A and B are shown apart, each in its own frame.
Chain A
Amino acid sequence: MASGPSTYTPSNGLMRWLDARLPIVRFANDNLLTFPTPKNLNYSYTFGAILLYCLVIQIVTGIVLAMHFVPNAALAFNSVEYIMRDVNYGWLLRYIHMNGASFFFIAVYVHILRGLYYGSYKDPREVLWILGVIIFLLMMATGFLGYTLPWSQMSLWGANVITNLLGALLGTDFTQWLWGGFSVDNPTLQRFFSLHYLLPFVILGVSVLHIWALHHVGNSNPTGIDPKGPQDTVPLMPYYTAKYFFVITVFTIFFAFVVFYAPNLFGHVDHYVEGNPLKTPAHIAPEWYLGAFYAMLRAMDFNFLFIDSKLLGVLTMLGAIGILFIVPWLDTSKVRSANYRPVYWWCFWIFVADYAMLSWAGLQPAGVILLQTGVGADGAPTGFSITHLSQIGTAYYFAFFIIIMPLLGLFETPRALPESIAQAVLGKKRGGGAAAPAGAAAAPESRV
């Protein structure tokens, strides 16, 4: 699994016996201890480890919460409150699990954007990237399913909106199959609970493949050039494990602050109102981490050819996720890291701002007017609305992938790359900054 030859030598007869039958100690040695890791990885490269930590937190808290939760439409809401009030430390476990989802997504967004910035999806890491997109999709599904379980107004109506969207694409027979009835009701809750319990273990499985792929091809790094030998790498243990312990602790401080002092920061007040199928809340919002996709869905308020606006919205939303799968082939640039791509650097950060803006827009009521330009026939203000903003945001989102990525690789002149990681590191130490020493201004390598 790990790239490079194994360095493990069994220390005694028993270990040799075991190594010949199940080389698990060798496996752990090669992947957890001696795995050669580029020595120039910055803090943005620690989020993979943080994500694994988040997954473990969610699975452990989820398993104990499931010991008290009742997946029944009449009892679910009260069973969550029972956890919050009567179960010993239930409030703590529930707040960790609830906010853990948000922190999981904060970490995954940093992780994905880091991949986009440093071109971590490029040859030979395409499969690694695709496995990551699959994990991201599974996370969204798990997050959405978990969001429905407390059976609050937000849960119930959020589930209603999302399942009806799928209905727009696949028809009423499909939604009734998904619901197990004629509306979101008890059968829906029970199957959502079952799947919410299942999916994290699927994520765990795909994560193993993801890490396997990573350890097969090795880490990318901020220069985007491959390690040339031992002078460019350090063993994972103790160098990066020490770093992981530190960053995970810092991450946990932020996490703990929210859990203990602002536990409902990411939530919506309607999560504390019991679900009522006869009463629609004034404003249905998804969790913040799905806001961008929801904004793109609502941005499609026009018909296109024979596709009506509702279906177009669903296709846009699915397309926004689907396009991530082909990113490795959309980007034509030979240079991996945005540090050496001056134009891409700007496009990338505008993309980050665009995504943040869409995430925000998705949580706002759709009709809100941001810049009033006039008054409509019915006296309501008209002008530049959230929908218009979302349309611009959606346009840039897609343009980034299908226009900027392919074209920029053809027209952009990258900065000179350093010759090796060791040299880049030494250049930085001498105060050279991003500009590499004169001798390093060589042609980009053949396979970068």
Chain B
Amino acid sequence: MFSAAAAGVGVAVTAWPFIDQMNPSAATQALSTTEVDLTPITPGQQITVMWQGKPTWVRRRTPEEVAQIRAIPNSELKDPQPDQERVQKAEWLVVIGICTHLGCIPNRDNSGEQGGYLCACHGSVYDGSGRIMRGPAPLNLAVPPYAFLSDTLVRIG
């Protein structure tokens, strides 16, 4: 009985390395989160960082932009979601810069009303919160999980 239990433990312990080897390796783990230093970003400016292989935007919005964005009524949106739910701090927008239509990378479009984004591939227009305004894309730009480690440091992932 004890021998059988011992054998069972032995088998389980031996099996573990064979199962665990499939988990993300140390090299992959190292890229699972990205820390972004916010100090060099001036108001109105945006940087692109790579997070888990996806281009991720960190944008410092001006109070005027935020006011304009928050003035858009939910009824005008295809995928209604208030800006407040999409950001942790009104000043900082963190979104994944991949168009939800066919995955092109939209560009900053300063000609637009709210300093939004235009996807050149098929003409989807997003506002300054990454919400879809017009065009074929069905959903707002995705917001990755992130946390402010301090006022000037954010960790994405």
A183-B52, A277-B53 as given contacts; A282 in contact with B25, CB under 8 Å: no
Instruction: Given A180-B23, A183-B53, check contact A279 B28 (CB 8 Å).
Output: no
Contact B102 A187 (CB under 8 A): no
Within 8 A of B (CB), among A175-195: 176-183, 185, 187, 191
Residue B54 lies at the interface, judged by CB distance under 8 Å to chain A: yes
- Chain B residues near A191 (CB-CB < 8 A): 22
B55 contacts A by Cβ under 8 Å: yes
A176 pairs with B24, CB closer than 8 A: yes
Residues of B within 8 A of A (CB): 19, 22-25, 28, 31-32, 52-55, 98, 102-105
Among residues of A, the one whose C-beta sits closest to the C-beta of B54 is: A278
Known: A180-B23, A180-B24, A278-B98. A185 touches B53 (CB 8 A): yes
Within 8 A of B (CB), among A150-199: 176-183, 185, 187, 191
Q: Which residue of A lies closest to B21 (CB)?
A: A180
Check if A280 sits within 8 Å of B103, measured CB to CB.
yes
* Given known contacts A182-B32, A183-B52, A278-B98, A177 and B104 CB-to-CB distance under 8 angstroms: no
Question: What are 17 contact pairs spanning A and B, CB under 8 A?
Answer: A176-B23, A180-B22, A180-B25, A180-B28, A181-B28, A182-B24, A182-B31, A185-B28, A185-B53, A187-B28, A277-B53, A278-B55, A278-B98, A278-B103, A278-B104, A279-B104, A282-B102
Look across to chain A and name the residue whose beta carbon is closest to the beta carbon of B100: A280
B22 x A281 contact (CB < 8 A): no
In the bound complex, do residue B25 and residue A182 qualify as a contact, i.e. CB atoms below 8 Å apart? no
Closest-CB distance, B139 to chain A (whole angstroms): 12
- How many angstroms between the C-alpha atoms of A45 and B105 in the bound complex? 55
Number of A-B contacts (CB under 8 A): 44
**In A264-287, which residues have CB < 8 Å from any B CB?**
276-282
Q: A279–B55 Cα gap in the complex (Å)?
A: 12
Q: Is the interface of B mostly helix, strand, loop or mixed?
A: loop
Given A180-B25, A180-B28, A187-B28, A279-B103 contact (CB < 8 Å): yes
- Within the complex, the shortest CB–CB distance from A160 to chain B, in Å, comes to 11
Residue numbers in A under 8 Å from B98 (CB-CB): 278
**How many Å lie between the Cα of A282 and that of B101 in the bound state?**
8
Query: Who on chain A is nearest to B157 by CB?
Result: A182
With the chains together, A278 CA to B55 CA distance in Å? 9
Task: Contact check, B25 vs A279: say whether CB atoms are below 8 A apart.
Answer: no
Most A CB contacts (10 A, CB to CB) among B23, B31, B52 go to B23
Q: Return the chain B residue nearest A185 by Cβ.
A: B53
A181–B19 CA distance with the chains assembled, in angstroms = 14
Report the minimum CB–CB distance from A72 to chain B (whole Å).
15
Chain A residues within 8 Å of B53, by CB:
182-183, 185, 277
Contact B32 A281, beta carbon cutoff 8 Å: no
Looking across the interface, which residue of chain B has its beta carbon closest to that of A188?
A: B22
Q: In the assembled complex, how far is the CB of residue B96 from the closest CB belonging to chain A, in whole angstroms?
A: 10
Residue of A nearest to B136 (CB): A282
The reply to whether B52 and A182 contact each other, CB–CB distance below 8 Å, is yes
In the complex, besides A180-B23, A278-B54, 4 extra interface pairs with C-beta distance below 8 angstroms are A176-B23, A183-B53, A279-B102, A280-B102
Min CB gap A283→B, angstroms? 10
Please indicate the chain A residues that have their CB under 8 angstroms from the CB of B23 in the complex: 176-177, 180
Residues of chain A with a CB closer than 8 A to B32's CB: 182
Which residues on B sit within 8 Å (CB–CB) of A276?
Answer: 103
Q: Write out the residue numbers on chain B whose beta carbons fall within 8 Å of the beta carbon of A177.
A: 19, 22-23
Give Cα distance in the complex from A277 to B54, angstroms.
8
Q: Which 5 pairs of residues, A with B, have the shortest CB-CB distance?
A: A279-B103, A280-B103, A182-B52, A181-B28, A181-B24
What residue in chain B is nearest A278 (Cβ atoms)? B103
Q: How far, in angstroms, from A278 to B53 measured CA to CA in the complex?
A: 9
